[in-house]
Amino acid sequence: MRFRRSRHLFCYWRDDELIVGDYRRRTAVAVDPVVVELLSACDDWCGVADVVAELAGYETETVEAAMLSLCHNGLLDSGEPAAEVEEAMTCWRGWEPEAALFHFGTKNANYGPSTAELRAELAGGAPVELFKSYPDAERMVLPRTPVSLREPFGDVLYGRRTHRSFAARPVPLQIFSTLLAAVFGPVAFVDGDEFGALALRTSANGGARQESECYVAVFEVAGVEAGLYHYNALEHSLELVREEVSREAVGELCAGQPAIREAAIVVFLTAVVGRVSAKYRDPRAYRVMLLNAGHVGQTFALAATALGLGAFTTAAFADEEVEALLGIDGVGETVLYVLAAGVPKDLRDGFPEGRAPAGLSAFRRRAQP
C-alpha cells in the first residue's frame, strides 16, 4: 500500500496537545509531535519501507501502524483521491489554506438543543453592553426629524446601483442623519429573557446581538465639520474620534480607490466580537457576523437610494491600518466592511456615469476563450 500526505492539513497546539487535521475532510486528531516528521516524509506517494528508510530508528511495525492510523484519521491518503474531488478543489487554490480552513472548518453547524441549563450558562457571564459610546468625546447631536423614506419599494430596489462617481455637492444634514438612523439606529427593543433587553434594527441580525458599530469619515455633509466620528446609535449623535482625516489618507487605506476620495461620507463597519461570542460559542457564529455585515451593507445601499444618494460598498481595505485609524484593537472589535455614499452624478439609462447596458458585442467578448 502506498501513502501520501493530505494536501489540506493544518496543525495547532491546544493546551498541551498538538492537533493535526484535514480541513477538507473536517477531521482533526491529537498526535505526538513526532508524527509531523512522519507526515513530512510522505510528501509524495511512498510505501512503509520508504518512510522507515528515511526515519532512522523506528521499527517497521511501529511506522506501519502509525501510517494506518493517520490514514484512518484522514491525514494520509492511501489511494488516489477521487478525481472529481481534486478537480473541485482547484477553485480553492488561490485561497488555501486561510479561506478554505475557515469555510470547511465551519461547515455543518454544531447547534445542540437550547436547554434551560445551557441558556443559563450562556447568560451567566458579565452583561454585554448593547451600545458603544465615547463619553469623553466632543459630540454633535443629530436632528431627529427624518426625511421621508416612502419611495415605492420597487423603485428603490431596481434603482439601486453601485455608484463610484459623485458630484462635488454636500449631502444635506437631514438626509445624512436619516441615513444613519435608518441603518444603524434601534427601531425597537425585545425582551430576550435571560439575555435581557435586545435591540432590533432594520437589518436582520443573528440573535439580535447587533454587534456592528458605525464609524463615519465625514468629508462633505452640510453643517458637519469634516472629521472621523463614531455614531452613537442610542443618543443619535456623532462622537468625534479624529479631527484630522483626509480623503487621500482614507483612500490609501482602501487600496487607493478613487471613489473613496470622491465620496461625501465613508463608513467603517466594525463588529464587537463579544456581543456574539457571549451567546454563540460555535465557530460558525463568525460566519453569521459576516452575513450580518452584508445585511447592513444592503440596507445602507437601499436607504441611500431612497434618500437620493448613490452608494457603494467594498472589502478592499487594509484591516490593521483602518483599525489603527479608528483606535480599536482588531481583536475584541474588528473592521469588517467599508460603505460609502455621496450625491451621485447623473445616471444614463439607469446606469452610473461611465457604464452602459451590455449589448451583443459585450456578450461576444465574454464568450471568447
Per-residue pLDDT at 368: 59
Residue 369 has pLDDT above 70, yes or no: no
Mean pLDDT in the chain?
Answer: 92
Condensed to tens digits (0 to 9), the pLDDT of residues 190-207 reads 998 888 899 999 999 999
Q: How confident is the model at residue 81 (pLDDT cuts 50, 70, 90)?
A: low
Condensed to tens digits (0 to 9), the pLDDT of residues 53-73 reads 999 889 999 999 999 999 999
Per-residue pLDDT at 367: 64
**Residues 323 and 136: beta-carbon distance below 8 Å:** no
Return the domain boundaries, the chain.
Answer: 4-105, 127-342
Choose which CATH entry (3.40.50.1110, 3.40.1440.10, 3.40.109.10, 3.40.605.10) describes domain 127-342. 3.40.109.10
- Summarize the confidence of residues 138-161 as an average pLDDT: 95
The backbone torsions φ and ψ at residue 306, rounded to the nearest 5 degrees and listed phi first, read -65, -25
Amino acid sitting at position 292: N
- Summarize the confidence of residues 229-258 as an average pLDDT: 97
Handedness of CA 307, 309, 314, 320 (dihedral sign): negative
